[in-house]
Amino acid sequence: MKYTRLTKEQFEELHQEFINFLATQSITADEWQTIKENTPEVAEQELDVFSDMVWEGVLKKVDFLEHISPQQIHLFSLNETNMKVISIKLKRDIDLTTTEGFNWLRENLLNDDVEFLQANKEYTKDKNLDKFTLIQQGAVITKGDLFTYFNKLIN
């Protein structure tokens, strides 16, 4: 398995897609029930293959990621050949994950306690796996509003 298995809730949301996936392999509902009961390891493999297929489809469409921690914000623009990263670090004890902390940042962007860094990072051999790794580390998929804002601000 390349990524992680979808959660029970995600499988429930994608119930129809999973049925279609099984149908492409000529597996009927009755046959699926038999597979689950008699060869659970095969059922597990099917769940893993479907999960990887879903993740591939999602990751292919991801253009922006954000990772906000108490003292730092990392904003990623995921281009075709590399990712552009904007990093905002605080030199004072303010929690950016709170409304108050984020509001402080908005009002104090030019404060000496706010440091901006930017870089380009090349992908490894597998761009989607790089994106997935960032998500596993806590980044979330966004439309890129924060990235666009800060990119205009510092460039």
29-40 pLDDT, tens per residue? Answer: 999 999 999 999
| Global pTM value | 0.85
Q: Phi then psi for 97, rounded to 5 degrees? A: -85, -5
| Residue 155: per-residue pLDDT | 85
Buried b (16+ CB within 10 A) or exposed e, 84-107: ebbbbebeeebebeeeebeebbee
- 116-143 confidence digits (pLDDT tens): 999 999 999 999 999 999 999 999 999 9
In terms of DSSP H, where are the helices of the chain? 8-13, 15-24, 29-38, 40-61, 99-107, 127-136, 145-154
Chain segment 72-105, per-residue pLDDT in tens: 999 999 999 999 999 999 998 999 999 999 999 9
Residue 127: other Cβ atoms inside 10 A = 19
State residue 118's pLDDT score.
96
What's the pLDDT at 130?
Answer: 96
